[in-house]
Chain A
Amino acid sequence: MSCLSYYKSRFTRFYAERAVAGREAVGRAARRLGLQTPIVIESREELPEEHRNEHTLVAVPTRGNAVDRCPGSRGHVCCNYLTIDLYAGCTLGCSYCIMQSYRNFAPLVVNVETEPIIAAVQTIAAANPGRRIRVGTGQIGDSLQLDPLFELSRELIEAFAAEPRVELELKTKTDFVDHLLNLPRKGNAIIAFSLNPPELVGAEEPETASVERRLAAAARALEAGYRVAFHFDPIIRVAEWQAWYRAVIERLRGFPAERIAWVSLGTVRFTTALRDAVPPRAYMFDEFVPSRDGKLRYLQPERVETYRYVRRVLERAIGRVPVYLCMESPAVWRRVFADRCAFPVGSLFAPLKLPDAQRSSREPGQKARDPRPSGR
């Protein structure tokens, strides 16, 4: 199925708030959905109750902070990632996704006003001379699921191409990259793919692209001049986890290490609310303990074993690439990277200065210590 026929079958209604109804991205999306125009509303609160579901798209302007800190997780190590809520919501249906625990929320909200986002990132870059600014759009939605409709990532890539320290990451479980391949200036944009073994993709990520298609898309992105990144998150320790993850990592062999911006690792974690909201999943029957942020995680020694294993297999397959752990405790960081830290931690863990306008409830609350190996 092509992107456009996918959208037409998936989304049956398109609303736009009046403030952004006339924008080019909105008109473009409407045309591609086979509509003359979207239904114009004053605000998203007007949306009829029966249309507040995953078959509805809503275009809105930027509200609140255009760029924010990744909320991270209390008591866990913060990597200073910044997030842009460009696409909020997702219909890929992954069983482990926190959004499954508030499914009745539903319409997919698209922030089509990119100028405040671009200005905010530029301000942050200016306030942090010499620092890398890692920013991504894949925090509360898939970066590319809706992007061929709206083409908002193109606006960001082109704007940040002039900012050598800004690394814009577009994180996806789709293979929708083709609309980005021919951009003349790509800057430090990184196209990132979440990966899991095909067996788990089939069972737990029902509407995502297959691993094969994701890797083919990664190869096309690489060929077009982008750097790529891979996220093994969530890693699920099924009985065959070692063989399965080794097999999928083996498929990265063709990717040159110097073109891989980073690889992140995270084991599956969830709240009890999520566990109660989704149909019973066999992997949730494993042994989990509550962590400091209240989420359930595998036992610490098993997480450490998992990360060490995946990191070792990665190194054998593609060589040394920057590897980091997502939402993990300092204790786990120290145990996994006891030999050395694969990521340039010095620049990673010093908090970024956010100008007043961008300060929010998401000030780095973790206060987790620098996880670099201690003397012990």
Chain B
Amino acid sequence: MGMQQQTYNAIARFVAQESGIKLSDGKAYMMESRLTPVMSEFGISSFEHLATQLMAATSELRQAVVDAMTTNESFFFRDRTPFDLFSNVMLPRVAEAKRANGQPLRIWCAAAATGQEPYSLAISVLENQTVLDGLDVSILATDISQAALGTAESGRYTQFEVQRGLSAQRLITHFDQEGGAWRVKPHLRELIEFKELNLLKSLHQVGKVDIVFCRNVLIYFDVETKAQVLGNIRKQMSNTGYLMLGAAETLVGVTDHFLPTAEHQNLFQPTS
């Protein structure tokens, strides 16, 4: 089932408007493979029809297309380094500042997807209780995709998924077995609040946060959108906070709201 350039452009425009994700040319294969299941679910027979329907789509169809186009496979403790930095740099320093003013420490995972990243952060929080020394910590996990967040909230993963990045020790400490699947234990789940959120819209409901994980999201935005989103993120952050971006993401020429840290090129601190 091939797709005309015109159809591709129309769907790509819809995805960009809804999610900020700019699909470059030549992503037709990705679009086809991700949207074909959505089309059969909604009984839509061709990409031309889909493009037409998106002009006046039901919210269910809009959400399904956004979910399909924005969700990527994830795994626990992905890339490892960000989590080492979280435990060794971010948590101890922010905790010190927080203890001085007696406030709780808030972490925001801005592209939570199916939950592997917020749960990895929650595991790291629990493993660093000595550093935190009784400090109140909470994690806000947001994503644009309702379907992904549903998985995240359920905390239920297949045997394959839990083996991607999770050590056996962490698995049996923080997960219960449920038939052939595994579910996060309440002690981990209760550290996290899940919320649907589009980064292109108002971020006020995020509240004040200290540590922000926003990895591999900005990479899909154009420079103006990046700058706008980063400006909004900055407004939600405490001055002593940290922003962790993905490995391929730099802010050179994008914004002066953040500066890279000496510790790592993808770890940033807000400018005041």
Instruction: Tell me whether A and B are bound partners.
Output: no
